[in-house]
């Protein structure tokens, strides 16, 4: 249940937690927010400086996130992707958490004398508006994250129907 590199909950534990929280939200008619984010240009760092540097950065990032968001359930999904589930949360609360993530990553990371300025692209999906099942929420948060990347990185975006339509149109073009 723990990610071996960062000691954060892993994908398996996150899925179990989301399933449990969705049941609670349904019973209590509450909102949830799912925040999906990755580290901008992480692949470049890994490929240029090596996996030891990338691993160290992921450990430092995880530590900063835990300090900045001690009450939140943060999981590493794999690679440089992280998710946070906010139980009984409004979109405003999700936006506050997204800003906290950005602020936590803002100070320079130093590794063996090298300075790394890290940013993230963040996607947010809200239950039940953006999906009532875990798979839909995760997909929609992921889609919103990629929209944040397309808009220049280092920002956050909420999932919208327009984003979903644009993705469907893109997939249609690719298939053609």
2 catalytic, yes or no? no
Question: How far is residue 27's CA from residue 12's CA, in Å, rounded to a whole number?
Answer: 23
| Residue 68 to residues 64, 73, 122, 154, 173, Cα–Cα distance (Å) | 6, 12, 16, 18, 41
Q: Which of 3, 38, 40, 80 is catalytic?
A: 80
How far apart, in whole angstroms, are the C-alpha atoms of residue 54 and residue 45? 7
Active site residues: 80
């Amino acid at each position: 249940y723990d990610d071996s590199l960062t000691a954060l909950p892993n994908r398996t534990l996150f899925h179990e937690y989301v399933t449990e929280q969705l049941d609670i939200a349904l019973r209590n008619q509450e909102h949830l927010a799912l925040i999906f984010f990755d580290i901008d240009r992480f692949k470049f760092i890994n490929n240029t400086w090596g996996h030891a540097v990338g691993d160290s950065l992921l450990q430092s990032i995880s530590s900063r996130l835990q300090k900045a968001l001690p009450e939140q359930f943060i999981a590493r999904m794999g690679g440089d992707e992280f998710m946070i589930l906010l139980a009984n949360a409004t979109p405003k609360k999700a936006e506050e958490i997204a800003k906290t993530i950005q602020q936590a990553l803002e100070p320079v990371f130093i590794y063996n004398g090298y300075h790394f300025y890290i940013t993230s692209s963040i996607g947010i999906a809200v239950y039940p508006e953006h999906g009532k099942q875990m798979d839909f929420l995760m997909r929609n948060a992921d889609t919103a994250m990629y929209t944040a990347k397309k808009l220049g990185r280092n920002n956050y975006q909420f999932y919208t129907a327009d984003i979903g339509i644009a993705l469907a149109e893109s997939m249609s073009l690719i298939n053609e």
